[in-house]
Structure 1
Amino acid sequence: MFRRSYFNFYLILFIGLGALTFWLDKVTKPLSTETGTDFFQLPDYIIEDLSGLRIDHDNAVHRVFHAKKMFHYLGQDLTRLDQVHFINTKPGKPLFRVFADQAEIHGNGENIFLNGNVTVIRGDEDNKGKITMKTDMLHLIPDEDMVKTDKNVTISRMNTTVHAIGLQLDNETGMIELLSRVRAIDQ
């Protein structure tokens, strides 16, 4: 009887070690082989309801942003923002505000690509020179104080509405260049 229980103990131990090995193999498999996605395509962190401020004391420039959600991706030098609002203030220059459904920030913020219901407002609400621009996609270059698009754009100022395809706005000089198919409507 002693020999038989001794044999059963080793049989149970062997089966237990085999089951443990099988379980550890399943648990430790990389995420990409099970879900079909690359680990570096997933965000490494997500932040909700955030605001940020960047101040350039030499030029007295203040840049503020608000977003509903922020996703940062480790494998790509990319940050994605949802429901974003940018504000740029500079002494002697009109207030510059940008709203969009999504924004992708590449690098350290040198290039920002805005998508979905993009609205740009240059000037204050009570300012007669207030300009409102709407488009579906916009390339914002904060360090150059420039915005660009090659999509349809609608520009409104006072009683005039302009439709065009493509735009470049230099916020430093206030110059707007419309690239093609420009139509103006005076109301």
Structure 2
Amino acid sequence: MSKQPYFSSPLIFFIILILLTLWLDVLTRPPEKNKNDNTYFNPDYIVEDLSGIRVDHNEGIQREFSAQKLLHYLDEKVTQLEQTNFINIDPGNPLMRLHADQAEIKNKGADIYLTGNVSATRGADDDKNKITLSTDFLYLMPDENLVKTDRAVTITKLNTIIHATGLEFNNRIGKIQLLSKVSAVNN
């Protein structure tokens, strides 16, 4: 007499159910983050030709922005803007306008990094105290009304052109601090 293994229908069904459960578990797991994988560097949304406004009614401060394109990255908590303009209207201070090819916004708008053909103008176009600066990088802290850079910067006021490396500009008190390699030309 030969002995054959005995398999009951419930046992076979139970084994198939376990294998199916394990297979579905593997299929439904989200892929692991891999720093070299570009799938996690894709924006979760893109907006084109946008503008916005933020108003603090108590202090009368108004901030406006516009951009050709906005890319938001949820995993990095970063917003990137292309061809962007910022305008800060503060009743006690001159108008402040900024333009950059790119901007990266972090910490819910508390830190803004402007890059590529950055220009800032303090004062209206017809203002004799109008100051214009240009650089390739500017760190903007809108709540503090402060801009900084550690790069080469050119400042123009009336007939005076100033070149420097590094700058801290407080629009609230109108103070510009040039950090190094300062030279000025008066035309």
| Superposition TM-score, scaled by structure 1 size | 0.81
Shift of 1:37: 2.6
- Per-residue deviation, residues 110-145 of structure 1 (Å, max 9, x unmatched): 000000000000000000000000000000000000
**Structure 2 counterpart of 1:182:** 182
Counterpart position of 1:93? 93
Where 2:40 maps in the other structure, the secondary structure is helix
Percent identity of equivalent pairs: 50
User: CA–CA distance in 1 between the matches of 2:129 and 2:97?
Assistant: 14
CA shift digits 1:130-177 (9 cap, x unpaired): 000000000000000000000000000000000000000000000000
CA drift at 1:77? 1.2
Q: CA deviation at 1:31?
A: 11
Corresponding pairs, count: 160
Which residue of the partner structure matches residue 64 of structure 1?
64
Contact 1:85 1:97 survives alignment (8 Å) = yes
| SS in structure 1 of the partner of residue 109 of structure 2 | coil
Alpha-carbon distance between aligned partners in 2 of 1:102 and 1:150, rounded to the nearest angstrom: 17
Per the alignment, residue 27 of structure 2 pairs with: none
Return the offset for 1:38.
Answer: 3.9
Q: For residue 37 of structure 1, what is the aligned residue in structure 2? A: 37
Structure 1 residue aligned with 2:26 = none
Is contact 2:33–2:40 with CA below 8 Å preserved after alignment?
Answer: no
User: d(CA) in 2 for partners of 1:97 and 1:67?
Assistant: 14
Q: Distance in 2 between matches of 1:38 and 1:85?
A: 29
Amino acid at match of 2:169: L
Q: CA separation in 2, counterparts of 1:133 and 1:178?
A: 12
Distance 2:186 2:88 in 1: 29
Matched residue, 1:143: 143
Deviation at 1:39, TM superposition (A): 3.0
Matched-pair contact (CA < 8 Å) for 1:69–1:83: yes
Hey, what's the Cα distance between the residues in 1 that align with 2:106 and 2:184? 34
Q: Describe the superposition over 1:29-79 as per-residue Cα deviations: whole angstroms up to 9, x where unpaired.
A: 96989xx63433110000000001000111110000000000000101100
**Structure 2 unaligned blocks of 5 or more:** 1-29
Contact 1:130–1:157, Cα closer than 8 Å, also in 2: yes
Gaps of 5+ in 1: 1-28
> Amino acid of the residue matched to residue 39 of structure 1?
T
SS at 1:143 equivalent: helix
* Cα displacement (A) at 1:92: 2.5
**Which residue of the partner structure matches residue 155 of structure 1?**
155
